[in-house]
Amino acid sequence: MNPTEQHDTTVVVTGAASGIGAATAEHLAGLGHHVVVADRRANPAEEVARELTSRGHRSSAAKCDVADARSVDALFARVAEELPPLVGLVNNAGVGNLKPLEAYTPSEVDLIWSVNVSGTYNCLRSAAPLLRRNEGAVVNVASVSAVHPTRGEAPYSAAKAAVVALTASAALEWAPEVRVNCVSPGFIRTPLNDLLATNEEWLEGIRERTPAGRLGTPRDVAETVAFLLSDASAYVTGQNLVIDGGSALTNAQMDPLFTELLG
Ligand code: NAI
């Protein structure tokens, strides 16, 4: 894809009013797609779309709660009627929390499940006919917690593991017309983890445990998402690509000891 060329294509990014979604929307708009900045929060979504438009990109905002199937259906009906062909969907909207497993209330668990899993499912179902028609591609945003859970994120880890499985199922059912992949970010600095960002010592600890030697940025994820949506990954489907600077590679039981023995 020639980055300077304007394409007559649409990509929908959910949860695009903030963090990883906003960076992904910006990057994909820069590649020439009309980007729909879809988010539960209308005002910040409009701000992101306005900013992209002011820089000469094509973008529009859509208020959409991915956990509500009717809201999602309305979004894709509008895309079908008003916008260029849908060739990409980024299921990025997500919520998490941090507390002991038994301290989560049923409604907190429901929210985490309904946004991360049902939200992804709702968008896949509604977008399916458009993506099939246009031979599009999907990227779901899971988390490294899906495969390497941390303490305190039980419902989130389980929900993101479900997103990884959903990715494989959709890839199988929709091949060869539509490719469906998934990314699993490690720690990426966004408003989602503002709490951690207030403590420089904690951030330094994260840096030390990351072989890449730095924190991840929303742009790191955006670049990988763009690759998985593009023809450069034409033979890749059903995969979960971890974007964590190598942090999940460590064998925490033995690696610190071996590191010491190596001098
Ligand atoms: P963020 O909190 O900055 O942005 C999330 C966006 O999703 C917000 O704009 C929010 O309004 C929107 N959203 C929430 N519920 C929604 C709903 N029901 N319908 C539509 N939009 C909704 O978070 P961030 O960090 O940019 O996260 C994006 C994705 O990346 C999420 O799926 C998250 O779980 C995942 N992720 C983030 C990591 C990180 O370190 N920041 C690590 C691993 C995964």
What lies within 8 Å, CB to CB, of 55 at 6+ separation is: none
* Structure-block tokens of residue 157: 């880890």
Quote the domain boundaries for residue 14. 10-262
Active site residues: 156
Over residues 221-252, the pLDDT tens digits come to 999 999 999 999 999 999 999 999 999 998 88
For the beta carbon of residue 105, count every other beta carbon within 10 angstroms.
9
pLDDT at 2: 39
When the pLDDT of each residue in the chain is averaged and rounded to a whole number, the result is 95
The residue contributing the CA closest to ligand 1 atom 4 is: 18
Asked whether the predicted pLDDT for residue 164 surpasses 50, the reply is: yes
pLDDT in tens, 33-51: 999 999 999 999 999 999 9
Asked if residue 5 belongs to a domain, the reply is no
- Say if 135 falls within a structural domain: yes
pLDDT of residue 191: 87
- Domain assignment of residue 208, yes or no: yes
Q: Is the CB of 155 under 6 A from ligand 1?
A: no
Residue 76 CA to chain centroid, in angstroms? 18
Instruction: Tell me, yes or no, whether 138 lies in a domain.
Output: yes
Half-sphere exposure of 3 (CA within 13 A, CB side): 7
Q: For 187-223, how does the pLDDT look when each residue is reduced to its tens digit (9 = 90+)?
A: 999 988 888 888 999 999 999 999 999 999 999 999 9
Q: Which pTM was predicted?
A: 0.97
Domain annotation covers residue 35 = yes
Q: Is residue 38 assigned to a domain? A: yes
CATH number of the domain that residue 40 is part of: 3.40.50.720
Q: Which of 114, 124, 140, 15 is nearest to 73 (CA)?
A: 124
Pocket test for ligand 1, best of 13, 18, 156 (most atoms within 8 A of CB): 18
Encode pLDDT of 74-108 as tens digits: 999 999 999 999 999 999 999 999 999 999 999 99
Domain assignment present for 242: yes
Query: In total, how many domains does the chain have?
Result: 1
Residue 263: per-residue pLDDT: 86
Tell whether 2 is covered by a domain: no
Report whether residue 28 contacts ligand 1, using a CB cutoff of 6 Å: no
pLDDT at 152 over 50: yes
**3 pLDDT higher than 80:** no
Q: How far apart are CA 125 and CA 134, in angstroms?
A: 15
pLDDT higher than threshold 60 for residue 4: no
Q: Which helix (H) or strand (E) is 10 found in, with range?
A: strand 10-14
CB 25 within 8 A of CB 59: yes
Q: List the residue whose alpha carbon is closest to atom 2 of ligand 1.
A: 192
Q: What pLDDT is stored for residue 6 in this prediction?
A: 61
Q: Candidates 27, 75, 190: which one to mutate for ligand 1, based on the most atoms within 8 Å of Cβ?
A: 190
